[in-house]
């Protein structure tokens, strides 16, 4: 793994420390292998390592089934995404794209807090569901603050025509990506054009959807999906199919629907 990939892992571990506490993190062994099936699948994550305890014991876990969200005129998300070079890599569970080193930072503002865009990755089928319905693909746009707080914007993908030209550069390299981000580079990607035009969201407090399942994540799930052609969707499912955690109990959490018209 390249230094770039290691830095990304280190950032995630640092963020987890904020949620779990430094003492727990220091005592945890090296991360145990995990998967989406069999003895290392989601139902076993919590027992694979003490570091994964929240996967079994957490009370604010993600993904969830979204229904009966309470409408509220929230401030829209504010995206300050800057088009630029991207590095793409396969982490063994999904394929990620991230701004190349030295890129001008892209940001997302949520509740007046600015988060820096870190990467996006996908799950096929979607982890989140709407009234029990899965979408073929769900993309997570991950953002972080300097002190390790995490906010994820989720975008559903459904079948549609014609092909989505804004996503084609990424789709073209999904099957070529290796574990080294420096080996697969997109010369220019317009991150903002990857999002839906209508950007009303359902928001809730949850967790990372993979081990260590750290909680304290602010989720904003876009209610308007983007579309891709059948051929494009097939590229995602060919790379990874079934890489989504089952929905988790809501445990009394509130879901708020941002009904402020997007601008």
pLDDT tens, the chain, 263 aa long? 333 433 433 444 333 333 333 333 333 345 899 999 999 999 999 999 999 999 999 999 999 999 999 999 999 999 999 999 999 999 999 999 999 999 999 999 999 999 999 999 999 999 999 999 999 999 999 999 999 999 999 999 999 999 999 999 999 999 999 999 999 999 999 999 999 999 999 999 999 999 999 999 999 999 999 999 999 999 999 999 999 999 999 999 999 999 888 76
Asked if 96 and 120 count as a contact pair (C-beta separation under 8 A), the reply is yes
Give the span between the Cα atoms of 37 and 155, in whole angstroms. Answer: 24
In a domain, 263, yes or no: no
Give the span between the Cα atoms of 153 and 220, in whole angstroms. Answer: 5
Give the span between the Cα atoms of 89 and 69, in whole angstroms. Answer: 35
User: Which structural domain range is residue 175 located in?
Assistant: 58-258
In a domain, 35, yes or no: no
In a domain, 6, yes or no: no
- Determine which one of 93, 128, 143, 192 is catalytic: 93
What six digits make up the tokens of 252?
């009394």
In a domain, 252, yes or no: yes
Cis check for the bond before 63: say yes or no (omega within 30 of 0).
yes
Q: State how many domains the chain has.
A: 1
- pLDDT in the model for residue 263: 62
148 closest CA partner among 118, 193, 112, 181? 118
- For residue 94, what is the domain's CATH number? 3.10.200.10
In a domain, 45, yes or no: no
- pLDDT in the model for residue 29: 47
Active-site annotation holds for 123: no
Asked if 177 and 97 count as a contact pair (C-beta separation under 8 A), the reply is no
Q: Tens digit of pLDDT for each residue in 139-154?
A: 999 999 999 999 999 9
- pLDDT in the model for residue 18: 34
In a domain, 32, yes or no: no
In a domain, 33, yes or no: no
- pLDDT in the model for residue 125: 98
In a domain, 52, yes or no: no
């Amino acid at each position: 793994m390249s230094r770039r990939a290691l830095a990304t892992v280190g950032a995630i571990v640092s963020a987890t420390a904020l949620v779990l506490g430094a003492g727990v993190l220091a005592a945890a062994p090296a991360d145990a292998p995990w998967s989406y099936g069999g003895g290392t699948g989601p139902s076993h994550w919590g027992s694979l390592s003490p570091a994964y305890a929240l996967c079994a014991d957490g009370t604010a876990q993600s993904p969830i089934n979204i229904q009966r969200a309470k409408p509220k005129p929230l401030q829209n998300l504010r995206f300050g995404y800057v088009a630029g070079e991207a590095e793409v890599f396969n982490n063994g569970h999904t394929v990620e794209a991230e701004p190349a080193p030295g890129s001008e930072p892209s940001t997302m503002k949520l509740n007046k807090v600015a988060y820096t865009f870190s990467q996006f990755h996908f799950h096929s089928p979607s982890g989140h569901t709407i009234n029990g319905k899965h979408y073929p693909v769900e993309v997570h746009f991950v953002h972080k603050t300097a002190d390790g707080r995490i906010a994820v914007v989720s975008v559903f993908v459904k079948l549609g025509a014609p092909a989505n030209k804004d996503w084609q550069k990424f789709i073209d390299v999904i099957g070529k990506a290796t574990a080294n981000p420096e080996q697969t580079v997109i010369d220019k990607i317009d991150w903002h054009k990857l999002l839906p035009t209508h950007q009303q969201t359902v928001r809730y407090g949850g967790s990372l959807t993979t081990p260590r399942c750290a909680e304290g994540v602010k989720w904003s799930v876009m209610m308007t999906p983007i579309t891709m052609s059948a051929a494009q969707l097939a590229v995602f499912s060919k790379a990874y199919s079934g890489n989504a955690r089952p929905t988790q109990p809501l445990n009394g959490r509130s879901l708020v629907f941002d009904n402020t018209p997007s601008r």
